[in-house]
Chain A
């Protein structure tokens, strides 16, 4: 798992998506988490899984913590700020009332997340009331407007960098759908107007404002009261914005989690359906393996990072190269040279498009037709109006007819056939589980498929399970059924451990954290009497009785060990034919051949390696002489 520079600079052009999921600094995002800390956030609770009540404030914080943990691993160049509003204390550059920007040492207010920040957020709840405090910031009679102040503080935090190259976002957590509800008369109108203007100014500067509303079971968050205007939603968008928020806390958490990150387009592709008709689709990497970050070499004395310099040296003359421009391959005792242009021409079998070749029934897509994680496609009308309409029509036809499309993807590094499988939208109480669109699966070529099943053919007929055995196996499957299994329900224990250790070391904690491995089987469940019974029945059915003893007997005596045993037996017999003590005393050992000497060594389980002298001295020392 360690990434050495050699590996980083691998010649082989890797996964074409690679640079895109290893986020770079240039695509970083600046985000301000703006959390309402009004008493209402602390008073409203929702029941969690284990019947404990969690306040909305806790929900918001745990979502933020979760997303920061992801960010620090995956996209550590992103910069974040945590800002509470409706607070008693104030802490912000403009010294605005009711706004508190949370920060830790060695960090600017808007900066990359650090281990210490995570830890502080984790513990903020306990000290919140004492150190920051909560109070309603908008009360009648006062001219204060905490929401306005919060937006302004957030905007100021996001001043750095150009909006053209950076994504700037404000993520607003609140459960108050009518922040100015308590105000009456003209001043209410005024407050609303200035607040909306503030939000609009921020948006004009390229800052997007995302609302993450928390609603309680008996009181749905009503967007149209105020926030629809603030985030600029119109009629149609409204319904789409809040898909049935469930009563369960987990559902709400899921929903918030999904909205925390901005969708990033991997590539814009042209899908040519016929020679005359191409539509635009965007591709998204929804599933990519997360690897522990690359290592950096440090000077062990100063702990300062080292610069890696690569140099090319001619193996024949030792001369230094800047960058060799040609590659070669030995072939037929010749050195065949290729220039970069030639190689790219060879690989350029199709210009960077996705070309539809036809359709096949889904049954043609086998389980072994897979090489890499899939890529998700969603249409875009941005440059080519009408693309979405065609995409939806094809999508519906493919779902209806149970077919998938075969297309050729002319990517520069590995042009290949892909399957486009239409995926219908799946929505549960927790929100969208599967987005609607097409999944692009990378198909292997004949050269990539191995027929390993056929390696060990049975000369007669391979044994097959009988109906009874199959029935017993089926019973087992009913017993050990993971009903609500969802792909990706497990955290990667290696990765969790990796980052837990790093976090502990970064914070200079002494104790190494214990990380729970969620992937181990449920021993307890497996040892329930019912399960054990079915397991035993299945075992008896396929293995018969006495399996264990037979296996144990078989396992010990392999071919090689049999042979070894035979050799040592003959050796000990031959060994008896000599009077070793006599030979040794008279110095006649050296008159024996090596083969003869080895009889003794083998019989006494001594090493038989080395020259004759070594063998003799080994024998002598074994005899204690």
Chain B
């Protein structure tokens, strides 16, 4: 746990120009702490505000200066109070000096940790940087910032700056803004710092990393261009889905007085043989079976290990190919990144040369990867260049997995140009579509790209953590509505749509939609969706229901007649009733009637099939209960009945299904010999055939 501990100081601008966006800052910072409370419980967080009316920090007491900077919270291990504090950040009244605040933040870190905890200390600055910082006593502002940046590097601190711009800073002084940008850039160049600009509340929520995950390499070794040249690389995950937290199952069985109750539920699996449902088969008597079609092939783990595919750990180049050969939609999984071995200058140059040449020539590399020794499969993927824009960062390569032949389904779809003229858009319609595509622009020139994945938070996770926090105060708290800022992600931006009302209206006018009433089916999938937000739960219900069923194999209500909904089950239930011998004959006659009903309406294919199904069940039942005569008489009757009533096809079908009389072999009471049973249908076949042709 503590190995990956993070020590974080939030340096927040609360000056008047920030007031409009502070609610978002509160949200993102409190969520950051909420996540830490779950995933990184030992992290420490401190809060520094600037732009406040008051002044309260140690430096001002020790050396003076540092006005309007308040240490709202000294370094401490995250707890619930911290969330509350961050939810109510006091608003300031003056325009603060971000550099003062950074120094105060650094001072806090140095005083508590000195030069220890290298690489784990982080400052996170949120400001709009609209106002000038004070002139230093000596040297230029640049010199001052450079000195501080050096100190930061020395103490192993990182800094992330989020600069809020765009529509929040319309009346600002551009000269000051530019100056501040240059100053903040020094941090980003000289230190291990990152600076991002955000223009909308939504992207502010996405800009601050709310969960720190220790990066782990999935491969370290050679990228083998060939046996002649190898490049030392490290491979990391570039994207990886941050999942909804896995919640544990809750048990309410522990007495309320038990303070140490875990409330956890253990899941236990038992393997039982089908024949003896009460016997548990121990692990040493179990063997894995692999499916091959309908067969299940048993193979022990040792046997399997001996024959299974065992590639050697390696990453090998297969060759280069044109970018156009690899369509974007063939990317299969989350993305990895290949980085040259850190501080290996030659490897960095080699990767850089490859990346840059790829970029120049529009090429990509195809590689075959086995990340770990003992991995049972290989992946083939594509390397694409990632040219670094920052001086301190080396060039790297992105890696995407490509599909194998087995993974692709080649369905054919009609060409658009071959579709009927009615489905082809007219020139006017095409124009309207062009206009729509042009005007509903999410990446307007000179402005921030809207909904850029890198700055778009996950609305579901945000909502979950908010609800969690609410519930910690009131266990019955309702699920909060989706935050307005996050609605911008799930719904179209009303501003964007209203600005382009004319284009949208034209689009509406040009195209016509007609609902097809005939085919309006109940839309099952939508119904399913509404309920299945809890899909996991539903599935579990299903599974447990099955288990319950198999455990309690006793029919609950006694069946007394063969109904319409589940005739087969009814029949079986009645046949197996032992309280009176009457039930068997009742069941058989009931089933016979059912079959007759169906046969009489057998022009419908479905009925035909059902009748066969029932007939099979009847036959089986009669064999089990040793009542062959009942069945044989019935079948003979059917054979006679069908041709008389023009139901040849049913007979034909019966014959093809090989449902014959019950022979002596099957039931001793039967008066029918084997041969007779087998040839039962043969006799009539030639007769029925010519007639059938006219059907």
Contact = CB atoms under 8 A, between A and B. Distances in A.
Contacts of A452: 215, 236-238, 337, 339
Contacts of B432: 393
Nearest to A520: B368
A453 B389 CA distance: 11
Interface in B219-271: 225-229, 236-254, 258, 261-271
B446 interface: no
A479 B67 CA distance: 65
Interface string A58-76: 0000000000001011101
Contact of B403 (A287, A301, A465, A476): A287
B412 A309 contact: no
Name B's interface SS.
mixed
Task: Return the 9 tightest CB-CB contacts between A and B, nearest first.
Answer: A344-B533, A327-B247, A473-B357, A465-B353, A446-B206, A393-B433, A439-B329, A456-B342, A494-B377
A432 interface: yes
B479 interface: yes
A568 to B, nearest CB: 27
A543 B346 contact: yes
B393 to A, nearest CB: 6
B316 interface: yes
Interface stretch (B420-428, B629-637, B666-674): B420-428
B414 interface: yes
A1 to B, nearest CB: 5
Contacts of B393: 453-454, 457-458, 462
Interface in B438-453: 438, 440-443, 449-453
Given A343-B534, A462-B392, A358 B492 contact: yes
Given A317-B253, A431-B412, A448-B240, A542 B519 contact: no
Given A310-B543, A328-B250, A397-B430, A383 B519 contact: yes
Interface in B490-516: 490-493, 496-497, 504, 507-508, 511-516
A47 to B, nearest CB: 23
Nearest to A319: B253
A367 interface: yes
B459 A370 contact: no
A453 B504 CA distance: 42
Interface in A280-338: 284-290, 292-317, 319, 321-332, 334-338
A341 B134 CA distance: 55
Contact of A493 (B241, B253, B321, B378): B378
A492 B236 CA distance: 24
A312 B547 CA distance: 12
Contacts of A151: none
Interface in A475-493: 476-478, 480-483, 485-493
Interface string B10-43: 0000000000000000000000000001100000
A152 to B, nearest CB: 8
A343 B534 CA distance: 6
A95 B681 CA distance: 13
Interface stretch (A34-42, A372-380, A570-578): A372-380
A295 B289 contact: yes
Contacts of B346: 542-544, 547
Given A312-B266, A488-B408, A323 B544 contact: yes
20 contacts: A163-B605, A276-B508, A297-B289, A317-B254, A328-B263, A340-B537, A343-B247, A357-B492, A384-B513, A394-B437, A417-B489, A439-B328, A446-B209, A446-B455, A452-B215, A453-B386, A462-B393, A465-B352, A470-B357, A485-B366
Given A5-B269, A337-B475, A450-B213, A539 B229 contact: yes
Nearest to B333: A372
Contact of B316 (A277, A358, A401, A521): A521
Contact of B287 (A290, A298, A439): A298
Nearest to A207: B605
B153 A459 contact: yes
B74 interface: no
Contact of B263 (A284, A316, A547): A316
B320 interface: yes
B215 A441 contact: no
Contacts of A301: 285
A322 B311 CA distance: 44
A497 interface: yes
A5 to B, nearest CB: 6
B285 A542 contact: no
Interface stretch (B136-144, B465-473, B563-571): B465-473
Interface centre among A74, A388, A434 (most CB of B within 10 A): A388
A11 interface: yes
Given A159-B609, A412-B535, A543-B350, 16 more contacts: A161-B609, A201-B695, A316-B254, A323-B541, A332-B37, A346-B533, A384-B513, A427-B415, A436-B415, A448-B241, A448-B458, A452-B236, A453-B388, A487-B408, A520-B316, A535-B225
Given A417-B451, A498-B308, A13 B248 contact: no
Interface in A260-282: 261, 263, 267-268, 273-279
